[in-house]
A and B are shown apart, each in its own frame.
Chain A
Amino acid sequence: DSGVTQTPKHLITATGQRVTLRCSPRSGDLSVYWYQQSLDQGLQFLIQYYNGEERAKGNILERFSAQQFPDLHSELNLSSLELGDSALYFCASTRTSGRTDTQYFGPGTRLTVL
């Protein structure tokens, strides 16, 4: 158990809908990262937050947004869903925003868009 929690574990929805994925980092960790794992693109970085502020953006679509709350949990919002958004979404956390921290991954949320 990495100490990172994600809910829900599975999500099935229809095209055009909007969903919210939730992540709670390990106790004491201030930075949260979101990654997407799809058959087409493999595992890719989406976005990073540190202590409530956005720190880095990767290949995140404009239909996707994220935020980190004062209690440090983070939410990833996916809107106008398309079939291609079906994927496993992971969050990871680290103690700092630094370059040399080990990232610990949550169990993931499996999103299926029908």
Chain B
Amino acid sequence: GIQVEQSPPDLILQEGANSTLRCNFSDSVNNLQWFHQNPWGQLINLFYIPSGTKQNGRLSATTVATERYSLLYISSSQTTDSGVYFCAVAPGGNNRLAFGKGNQVVVIP
């Protein structure tokens, strides 16, 4: 099946810092989503972004489908940004999401 690799696995940020999370995938995809899993376990949908660039407040994401990677940018990080960020993709032909192992982000005040 499709492989999804996220880096870095762990990240500690000072509040106010910026960061970039990366997701590489091994095959062409029709669906790519970024999620934030908060400390209570909830999976919050951040972006649906199989290609192109989107922004939502302090978060933005870019997917370069031809090169099989996606980036999630966090600017001016806040403690509420702590948690695990997951990239999930669905290869052509179905909508079954395959998840990466996540980026564990800790923002310290």
Contacts and interface: CB of A to CB of B under 8 A. Distances in A.
B41 interface: yes
Interface in A38-79: 42-45, 48, 56, 58
A107 to B, nearest CB: 5
Interface string B78-105: 0000000010101011111111011000
Nearest to A90: B43
B96 A105 contact: no
B27 to A, nearest CB: 13
A99 B99 contact: no
B30 A35 contact: no
A50 to B, nearest CB: 10
Nearest to B99: A43
Main secondary structure, interface of A, reads strand
B42 interface: yes
Main secondary structure, interface of B, reads strand
B41 A42 contact: no
Contacts of A92: 97
Contacts of B73: none
Say which size band chain B's interface belongs to. 20 to 34
A4 to B, nearest CB: 10
Interface in B16-51: 30-31, 33, 35, 41-45, 48, 50
Contacts of A97: 95
Contacts of B94: 56, 99
8 contacts: A31-B95, A43-B99, A45-B97, A48-B96, A58-B96, A99-B93, A102-B48, A108-B43
